[in-house]
Structure formats: structure tokens, C-alpha cells
Amino acid sequence: MSDWTSAKNNSDASDNAAEEIYQDYKKSITLPLKKPARQFVLCPVGLVGSGKSTVVKALAQKLFLVPISSDELRRRLKERGFKYDRAKELAMRMGCEFIEGGYSVAFDMNCGSPGSKKDIVQIEKKYGIPVVWIHVNPPEEFIVQKLKNYPHSWLFRDGEDAVEGYFKYKEKHGDFGSIDFICSIDTSLDDLPKQIENAAKIIYEKYF
């Protein structure tokens, strides 16, 4: 019997259960066709609903990055009755493994929150590779309207819950300090594909 089959809702994942989730998710990741000549870490910064996943997925494909989603780990933890507490830990561990394997990685999470930023700085120091910060920053009214129409899913009960979650998260993690962004992307605009293409060009010219 797997460790999570008898787990109570909102319990902490045991080491064995976390390892199963970790390995299961890792196997699902499609690796890029080539490794970069110069490694780097792509770190998006943005609040809930800003469109980080959309941007990260597109840039990961264009720049041959390994995408690592904390939300995907959170979803897998929740499906098995566990709290989210270990998602960031597992994501950072996975990033380190792929970096050690010679890949560049893209973290699909808000890397600007205090805990995540601290972990990213440690990775930067440990491996001596650059961190590329991008700001995913549409207007708040765009995010709120998007979240109001959020469908029932594992992440939020409904749109009202999603909007409430956004403001709670903003209050706790909304100050991103003096991060040196290589670019800012507004996911509310119709030219989003062009913005992503321009961001990829800037990053490619600097790090490839």
C-alpha cells in the first residue's frame, strides 16, 4: 500500500510519499532536445493569476529549458490528501538535479516570494550560474476579472475563492523588492506572443 492511500486530508507528506510524488512528476517532464552551452535559471516573478505558467511554458520551449512547476507538485500532493508544504522543497531539489545534469531550468512559480528568492540565491551561489528574472505583471483588474471566472478545480473552489486567495497572497508576497528584471511581460495585452518572442530573443542573445 502506498504511503498516501491512508493519509488524512491536510496531513504532511511522509518522506516515502513525497519521494513517490517527486519521481512520478520527474518522469512526466519532457526534456529539451539539447543542453545549453551556458546554463542559467529562469525565474518568473508575479502574483497568483498573472499568467506565469503561460509565459514559462513558451520560454522553456524556445530556450531549451526544463520547466519545473510547483503547482503541478502541489496538485499531486493535494490529490493524495497532503498539504502543499513540501512542493517548493521538491521543486528546488528537482531544479538542482537537472542543473547538475547539465540542463538549464525554468521554475514555474513565483520566485519573488521571500522563501523562493532565498532558495534561488542559494542555487545561484552553489552552481555559479546566472539567474534570469522576468516580471509577469498584468494590471490587477485583469487578474481579478480572470480569477472571478476561474472554474472549479483543485486549486480554488470557485471564482470568489480565487479572488480572495489572490488578495491574501498579495498581502503576504506582493513586495518584490529590488529585483533586476531582464524584462517585464503584460499577459493582458493582445501582443503576448510578440512579448514572449522578444523576451526569448533578449535572453538568447545574452546567454547563448
What does the pLDDT profile of the chain (208 residues) look like in tens digits? Answer: 333 333 344 688 899 999 999 999 999 999 999 888 899 999 999 999 999 999 999 999 999 999 999 999 999 999 999 998 899 999 999 999 999 999 999 999 999 998 899 999 999 999 999 999 999 999 999 999 999 998 877 888 899 999 999 999 999 887 887 899 999 999 999 999 999 999 999 999 988 8
User: For 82, which DSSP code?
Assistant: B
What CA–CA distances, in Å, run from 28 to 69, 73, 89, 145? Answer: 11, 11, 18, 32
- With cell 510547483, the residue in question is 70
- How far, in Å, CA of 109 to CA of 121, rounded? 15
Asked if residue 36 lies in contact with residue 104, where contact means CB atoms within 8 angstroms, the answer is yes
Burial class (CB in 10 A: 0-12, 13-18, 19+), 165: middle
CA 42 to chain centre: 10
Residue 82: strand pairing partners? 11
